[in-house]
Each structure stands twice: as C-alpha cells, then as structure tokens.
Structure 1
Amino acid sequence: MEIQDLSNNRKYQKAKEKVEAIKGFYGNLLAYCIVIPILALVNYVTTNFPWVIFPALGWGFGLAMHGFGAYGYSPFFGKAWEERKIKEFMQKS
C-alpha cells in the first residue's frame, strides 16, 4: 500500500468522523427542539414554578458544547493549544 493511499484513507476517516459528529449534533438539536417545548407545556399546565428552565439550560449548555466539538471550535483547547502540546510531547520523546 502506498503512502498516498494511507494519507487518503486517514483523510477519509477524519472526514467521516466529522460528518458523524455533525450529524449527532443535529440529532441532539432536533430532540432538544421537540422535548423542551413539551416540558414547557407540562410546566405551564401543572405548576407556577418555572422548573423547565433547569433542563433547558442544562441541556442547552450540553448542546452548545456538542456543537462546538462537532464544528471544531474549542474555546479552551483549540488548535493552537493542540499544536503546542504535540510539539512539547515530541520534544520530550
């Protein structure tokens, strides 16, 4: 097997993983958009305390983190951080 084939295979696998992550994010987003309004309706009908805020904020935060990961944005561990760590570990070896 040639090096070019391995490189193409790695690129394909990485692209496939990215597509799966984005697909998972949209599935999560769709579920959020269906479930939270149902919970809000249940909350409105059953009590005056707005408890729906807690699952909406909790799931919303998780959804945002999922989206950041799926689209490659990391406010804490971005590409520059990854590159620095890779270089650091390569120099130690």
Structure 2
Amino acid sequence: MESDNRENKYLRAKEKVANIKKFYTSLMFYVVFIAFLGWLNYYSNGWRYMWFLWAAFGWGIGIVFQGLKAFGWMPFMSKDWEERKIREFMDEEEQTRQRWK
C-alpha cells in the first residue's frame, strides 16, 4: 500500500513537472513568434495599424490559462479536484444502487 502511494506521488509530481516544462516551452514560442509578428508588422506598415496585437492577445489568453493550470492556481482544473469529483459520483451511484435493492 505504501509503495503504491509513493508511486502515485511520483507520477503526479512527474506530470506536474511535465506541465510546467510544457508551459515554459509554449511561453518561449509565444515570445519569439509575437516578436517576429511585431517586426513583420513594423516592416510592412510601420505602426499605423498594430495588427500583431490581436494575435498576442488571443494567444496570450491561452498562455495565461496554461500557466495557471501548470502551477496549480486553478483549483477547478487540478487533479485533486478531478479525483474528488470522481469519488463523489461513485459514492452517489453506490448510494442509489443500494436504495433500489
């Protein structure tokens, strides 16, 4: 039992590290690509219309949510929340089944 618990903790920690790594990779690509789009915008029409900000804003929203999830700042998207909900639904189903017996 203790070995299973330790293995589960290891797997959760490994998944969390993978999510953080994925976030930093996405953030790096975001910065590089938005900088390129900014340069392209400036090269093509100066700063008369800064269309690259639309891409920065849209993609930025996704990056923010990915970061919130990776660092555990969104309690409704965490693994603990998922496990609690699964247990809750399983308990409800078991109670319903027992009432009908």
Normalised TM-score (structure 2): 0.76
Could you tell me how far 1:22 is from its partner in structure 2? Answer: 0.1
Question: 2:43 matched to 1:23?
Answer: no
Could you tell me how far 1:12 is from its partner in structure 2? Answer: 0.4
Q: Distance in 2 between matches of 1:15 and 1:70?
A: 11
Q: Distance in 1 between matches of 2:11 and 2:3?
A: 12
The one-letter code sitting in structure 2 at the alignment partner of 1:67 is G
Query: Which residues of structure 2 form unaligned runs of 5+?
Result: 94-101
Instruction: Please list, as runs of the form range in 1=range in 2, the aligned pairs for 1:48-63 lying within 5 A after superposition.
Output: 48-63=48-63
Q: Which has the higher contact order (CA 8 A, sep 6+)?
A: 1
Match of 1:45 in 2: 43
Could you tell me how far 1:38 is from its partner in structure 2? Answer: 1.1
Structural RMSD (CA)? 2.1
Instruction: Please list, as runs of the form range in 1=range in 2, the aligned pairs for 1:1-93 lying within 5 A after superposition.
Output: 3-47=1-45, 48-74=48-74, 77=76, 82=81, 85-86=85-86, 88-93=88-93
> CA 1:91/1:69 → structure 2, altered by over 3 Å: closer, same or farther?
same
Percentage identity across paired residues of the two chains: 40
Could you tell me how far 1:78 is from its partner in structure 2? Answer: 5.8
Could you tell me how far 1:35 is from its partner in structure 2? Answer: 1.1
Tell which structure's C-alpha radius of gyration is larger. 2
Normalised TM-score (structure 1): 0.82
Equivalent pair of 2:68/2:74 in contact (CA under 8 Å): yes
Query: Number of residues paired by the alignment?
Result: 89
Could you tell me how far 1:85 is from its partner in structure 2? Answer: 3.4
